[in-house]
């Protein structure tokens, strides 16, 4: 098999003032691939050092189209990742000046967000677009270079292995390594053996001081943690998994947290983020007493249900959802909120609602919400600050 993976960086950012190469007679375009990536003036791509790479050289290779931009931090982060993943990478580029090709590629593959990595398979012929995989970023995050050559069989096999890995995970093999069998607590930098946590529900808190949403979420999580511990002292613990960049920020951030932590820079931090496919922080992954994953959505469950979310199990969440539905029956259909000038309407998943970001607390929400039909302004029901006697009047008219 040819280990040829070519990545076309169709970077939107660096539109340098270069002129189109003109006056070239176009070479015959022999494949669908070439017609996707080329233009009437151009049958080549650029490599790192600026030399031209003939489109025909890509025949038979798996080609990844990398939609990215230098100005966008998530793209920059993924760049590093992508470069690391492909040590044999030969990077070639659609020339900066070829905006038409970039626009048509963006349209063709319905690129809505960057970074985006579209994988094209060799031999897909006319169906190269239909058979393209659009989730290359996710696949590389999850499986690294093992995802190559991105075929259906390969991906099914990886999914199966991934499932087996998760089915057999234990708290001890997740949190310890050859050199360390403990996590840290505040009390005199005390070491707490991971073995002593077995049997508890554990929240792995992926977070970092430099992350703004983390800065907002951590102070909310602290009192909720204390409330859960007050009722279920021996059943619950949180372990901070830090992606801070230096020990100083790690230490000052951890000093705000009443729970435990994996030491700064520990090897398990990276492997945990990979194992749980953590793509954004803050992220709260919940492990059950048996060490298996309960949910990766601990953060939004905390936002929705606070301490009541414990122990985060499917059956608990179903119960909470039905309670919310029950309570929502008695909520006024419309409300006036102190922070918005239009009337807000009660919506649910079924009638115009859906996942949203609350305009008051800026956290995620699902299910019931108060929504402004004009502006798309949306709030958690708990976040509405009612003004006047509007709500009372409305209850009366609904009752």
Residue facing Zn ion at closest CB distance: 358
**Three state DSSP letters for 380-392:** CHHHCCECCCHHH
d(C-alpha 198, C-alpha 379), whole Å: 38
Q: Does 369 bind Zn ion (CB under 5 A)?
A: no
Q: Which is nearer to Zn ion, 37 or 304 (CB)?
A: 304
Nearer to Zn ion, 262 or 358 (CB): 358
* DSSP strands (E only) in the chain: 5-9, 44-47, 52-54, 62-67, 90-93, 116-120, 182-184, 191-193, 201-207, 236-242, 260-261, 283-287, 293-295, 334-336, 343-347, 356-357, 364-365, 369-371, 378-379
Which of 100, 374, 385, 389 binds Zn ion (CB under 5 A)? It is 374
C-beta of 368: minimal distance to Zn ion in Å?
A: 12
Selected from 99, 198, 320, 372, the binder of Zn ion by CB under 5 A is: 372
Contact pattern from residue 296 through residue 335 relative to Zn ion, giving x for each residue in contact according to CB under 5 A and a dash for the rest:
----------------------------------------
| 385 contributes a contact to Zn ion by CB under 5 A | no
From the list 40-48, 62-70, 261-269, 382-390, the region that binds Zn ion by CB under 5 A is 382-390
Contact between 141 and Zn ion by CB under 5 A: the answer reads no
Q: Measured from the CB atom, is 242 or 360 closer to Zn ion?
A: 360
113 lies in the site for Zn ion, by CB under 5 A = no
Q: How far is the CB of 385 from Zn ion (least distance, A)?
A: 11
First and final CA of the chain: distance in angstroms?
Answer: 71
Number of residues that bind Zn ion (CB under 5 A): 10
Q: What is the DSSP track for 39-103?
A: BTTB-EEEETTS-EEEGGGGTTSEEEEEE--TT-HHHHHHHHHHHHH-TT-EEEE--TT-HHHHH
Tell me if 360 contacts Zn ion by CB under 5 A. yes
Q: How far apart are alpha carbons 194 and 71 in whole angstroms?
A: 41
Instruction: Give the footprint of Zn ion on this chain (CB under 5 A).
Output: 342, 358, 360-361, 372, 374-375, 377, 380, 383
């Amino acid at each position: 098999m040819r280990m040829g993976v070519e990545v076309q960086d169709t970077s939107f950012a660096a539109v340098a003032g270069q002129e189109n190469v003109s006056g070239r007679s176009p070479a015959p375009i022999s494949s669908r691939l070439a017609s996707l990536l080329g233009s009437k003036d151009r049958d080549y791509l650029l490599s790192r050092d600026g030399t031209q790479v003939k489109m025909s050289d890509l025949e038979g290779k798996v080609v990844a189209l990398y939609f990215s931009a230098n100005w966008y931090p998530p793209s920059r982060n993924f760049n590093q990742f992508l470069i690391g993943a492909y040590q044999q990478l030969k990077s070639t580029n659609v020339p900066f000046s070829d905006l038409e090709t970039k626009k048509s590629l963006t349209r063709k593959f319905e690129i809505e967000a960057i970074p985006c990595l579209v994988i094209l398979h060799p031999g897909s012929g006319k169906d190269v677009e239909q058979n393209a995989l659009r989730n290359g970023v996710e696949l590389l995050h999850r499986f690294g270079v093992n995802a190559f050559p991105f075929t259906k069989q390969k991906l099914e096999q990886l999914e199966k292995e991934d499932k087996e890995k998760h089915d057999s995970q234990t708290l001890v093999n997740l949190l310890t390594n050859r050199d360390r069998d403990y996590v840290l607590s505040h009390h005199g930098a005390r070491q707490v053996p991971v073995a002593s946590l077995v049997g508890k529900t554990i929240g792995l808190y992926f977070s970092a001081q430099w992350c703004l949403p983390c800065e907002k979420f951590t102070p909310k999580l602290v009192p909720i943690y204390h409330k859960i511990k007050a009722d279920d002292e021996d059943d619950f613990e949180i372990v901070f998994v830090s992606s801070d960049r230096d020990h100083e920020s790690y230490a000052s951030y951890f000093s705000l947290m009443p729970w435990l932590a994996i030491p700064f820079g520990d090897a398990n931090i990276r492997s945990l983020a990979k194992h749980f496919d953590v793509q954004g922080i803050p992220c709260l992954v919940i492990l059950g007493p048996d060490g298996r994953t309960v949910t990766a959505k601990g953060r939004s469950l905390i936002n929705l249900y606070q301490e009541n979310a414990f122990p985060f199990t499917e059956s608990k969440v179903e119960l909470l959802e039905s309670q919310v539905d029950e309570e929502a029956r008695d909520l006024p259909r419309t409300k006036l909120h102190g922070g918005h000038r239009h009337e807000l309407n009660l919506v649910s998943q079924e009638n115009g609602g859906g996942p949203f970001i609350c305009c008051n607390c800026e956290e995620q929400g699902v299910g019931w919400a108060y929504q402004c039909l004009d502006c798309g302004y949306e709030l958690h029901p708990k976040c509405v600050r009612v003004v006047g006697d509007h709500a009372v009047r409305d209850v009366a008219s609904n009752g």
